[in-house]
Amino acid sequence: MPAPEEPVWKRWLDRLLMLNVLLVFAGAGFFGVAVVAQTQGQPRPMDWFQQLWQPLFTPAISLLIMAALISGILSWWQRKGPMADRDSES
């Protein structure tokens, strides 16, 4: 039996979340480079990172955490559902 076709909105949401993870990883790498540059006496990369922190990286990290929590709660709910049905049948 073939797997059911997933909705178009879910594919786009998955792509958006993957881009978000990529942005968070790129931000972490940029932060690492900025810290190394700061220790070498070049403050400009850290200044750029600090300017991008509030408008770009904070929402991206928040979206990543929220998506992980919702995914975990939905997985827990789906696993718990059939177990509750089995308990009520006995």
Domain ranges (residues) in the chain: 9-79
The string of pLDDT tens digits covering residues 17-72 is 999 999 999 999 999 999 999 999 999 999 999 999 999 999 999 999 999 999 99
Length of the chain: 90
| 80 band by pLDDT with thresholds 50, 70 and 90 | confident
By mean pLDDT, which of 8-12, 30-34, 74-78, 84-88 is the weakest?
A: 84-88
Q: Does the pLDDT at position 90 exceed 80?
A: no
